[in-house]
């Protein structure tokens, strides 16, 4: 893989995958090692108020894709970004030098969502103490630590199984910048960060 003729000194990388596959964990770790800029698109859109209201079905904000693209234009032209987002079809093809699709076995993914961690139970308890509203949500939090609805879980699993996202990536980006990486276990994160770091170092020796 080589940098395209865009003139960027450092590469732009998209890390995509269905929710829970480890995009944010991987992107944050990669950013730390490479000193590239981690852009979590959902957080960015929320911070900059580039959203179109709340999506009750999927428990997240609708992102105003055009506004997000405009807001990120200069940074993307400059290069050196790790863009972390579950959707892959609203950035133009020329934005990225590498598109990473993380994939997790669907039963591992389901377990990841529903696993109970003691610290999450403690947080839930504190939350219940300080907010009566939390009482209404408690059963959902116990069932699903990330607060994902059954509908979202089901849809995420289906997405994973039918590889909807991968098909979309293939529609939007050329094969030669596409990298599919497994993200089933913690060791995979380390391995993936190493793989991507060495790819980035080969492209830009300064990193």
The residues that touch ligand ADP, with contacts defined as CB under 6 A, are 17, 19-25, 112, 183-186, 188-189
- Nearer to Mn ion among residue 78 and residue 184 (C-beta): 184
According to CB under 5 A, which one of 4, 24, 105, 120 is a site residue for Mn ion? 24
Q: Which does 17 bind (CB under 5 to 8 A by kind): Mn ion, ligand ADP, none?
A: ligand ADP
Please choose, out of 24-32, 137-145, 148-156, 198-206, the segment that lies near Mn ion by the rule CB under 5 A. 24-32
| Closest separation in Å from C-beta 85 to Mn ion | 8
- DSSP of 6-50: T--SB--EEEE-STTSSHHHHHHHHHHHH-PEEEEHHHHHHHTT-
Please choose, out of 18-26, 137-145, 167-175, 195-203, the segment that lies near Mn ion by the rule CB under 5 A. 18-26
Q: For residue 53, which phi and psi values (nearest 5 degrees)?
A: 90, 180
Distance in angstroms (rounded) separating the CA atoms of residues 190 and 150: 30
Q: Which does 143 bind (CB under 5 to 8 A by kind): Mn ion, ligand ADP, none?
A: none
| Closest separation in Å from C-beta 129 to Mn ion | 28
Q: How many residues does the chain have?
A: 207
Distance in angstroms (rounded) separating the CA atoms of residues 34 and 103: 22
The answer to whether 105 contacts Mn ion (rule: CB under 5 A) is no
The answer to whether 46 contacts Mn ion (rule: CB under 5 A) is no
Distance in angstroms (rounded) separating the CA atoms of residues 23 and 4: 24
Paired tokens of 179: 């990298």
- Nearer to ligand ADP among residue 8 and residue 22 (C-beta): 22
Q: Where are the beta strands (DSSP E) in 59-127?
A: 60-63, 81-84, 98-103
Q: Which does 80 bind (CB under 5 to 8 A by kind): Mn ion, ligand ADP, none?
A: none
């Amino acid at each position: 893989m080589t940098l395209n003729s865009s003139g960027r000194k450092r590469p732009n990388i998209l890390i995509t995958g269905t929710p829970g596959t480890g995009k944010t964990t991987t992107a944050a770790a990669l950013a730390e090692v490479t000193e590239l800029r981690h852009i979590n698109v959902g957080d960015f859109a929320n911070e900059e108020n580039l959203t179109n209201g709340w999506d009750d079905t999927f428990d997240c904000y609708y992102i105003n894709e055009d506004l997000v693209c405009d807001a990120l234009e200069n940074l993307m032209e400059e290069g050196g970004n790790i863009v972390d987002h579950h959707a892959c079809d609203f950035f133009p093809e020329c934005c990225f030098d590498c598109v990473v699709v993380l994939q997790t076995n669907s039963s591992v993914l389901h377990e990841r969502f529903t696993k109970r961690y003691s610290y999450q139970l403690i947080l839930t308890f504190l939350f219940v103490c300080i907010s009566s509203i939390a009482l209404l949500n408690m059963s959902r939090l116990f069932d699903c630590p990330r607060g994902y609805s059954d509908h979202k879980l089901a849809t995420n699993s289906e997405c994973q199984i039918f590889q909807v996202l991968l098909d979309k990536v293939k529609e939007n980006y050329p094969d030669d910048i596409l990298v599919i990486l497994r993200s089933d276990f913690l060791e995979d994160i380390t391995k993936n960060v190493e793989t991507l770091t060495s790819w980035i170092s080969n492209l830009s020796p300064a990193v």
